[in-house]
Structure 1
Amino acid sequence: MVDTLMRAGSELQTMLLAQALAEAGESVSIGVLARWERELDPRVASLAEQGVTVDLLTNSRGPLGWGAALYRLRLRLKRNPPDIVYAVMSRSGLLASVASVGLSVPVVQARRELVSARRGGRIRALVRNCSLRCSAGLIANCKAVLRQVESSEPVDRLPRTVIFNSIPPEFFDAVPPEDIV
């Protein structure tokens, strides 16, 4: 998912990633929140030729547009749940997170932090601060797990890192005990 398609930046990287995944035989779909520039139509057409679905989720940025995008995305996630939703930029990440509530669809969010992104209303600041608090809680939990593992396992002090994994266990293949190192 991406806010819009452009000739450069994260948006172009999203298109290149989708193209590479499609060439590797993966099923890929891009949900776009705003119309893309006309000059990109040939690139979007070439993505379609490779089997990448490019969907415009809304035509407007107002509350009705966001509501329509949320509704369309939620329907798509219910009807054909993907393995993962990769959301680029904060608006598409927020929309994907809300649309996936109650569904077993993991959302991975990437965003760039621009100085202009810090200028915004109270709601934007509230959402950003809430997500930062949640991230801080996850990091604190990982550190607590690491301390507990280090104190309970009689193993030499090797460098260890505990990484929070928000993807549900059912998305992973079972590993037999003899394969565990």
Structure 2
Amino acid sequence: MGTANKTCSLGRRIYWFAVSVSGIIALLIILWGCTANNFNAGAIAWKTYSNSRYGFEFPYPSNWTSLVAPENDDGIAFTSPQNKTVEIRGWASQQLPNSIVTEQEPVKKIKSNFQTAQGVSGVLVVEVDQRVGSMTLTLIQSQVKYCWQGRSNSQQFQDYYRLFYYIAQQYRISKP
């Protein structure tokens, strides 16, 4: 009986190892496709969205269509003319001062892993599941949380990765 339990336990470990390895391989294939050097920012006609309320801006392809901006002017979203499910959006919000945050509200401290061309550090998160791929940039300056995101369906995410990354790099805060 002890040998059967050990064999079963070993079988489970091998199974979970194989699942983990195959997941890592799938992620590497997606990221390898994302690093293709077929993106040329100079070949795109750009416009710049500027938000006067929070003082941020980012470039977007000039042929992309803006969605209706919220009345509070906290941000904007643009869609690709080729595919309305591909979006880029930027927004901001006031953060509560640290002294107001209670102990019941855990504060997530994520180490900075990205720096914009302006030199502002933040967190860049890339998530790809079976349906949607997204790249989200979060910057916090002077009690304001700035966010930018690029989204597409997961099958096309590798086609937009370089565009999204470029826009995230060019994100600027004019009211630091």
TM-score category by the smaller chain? under 0.3
Considering Cα pairs closer than 8 Å and 6+ residues apart, tell me whether 1 or 2 has the greater RCO: 2
Q: Which structure features the higher share of helix residues?
A: 1
TM-score normalised by the chain length of structure 2: 0.22
TM-score normalised by the chain length of structure 1: 0.22
Q: Which structure features the higher share of strand residues?
A: 2
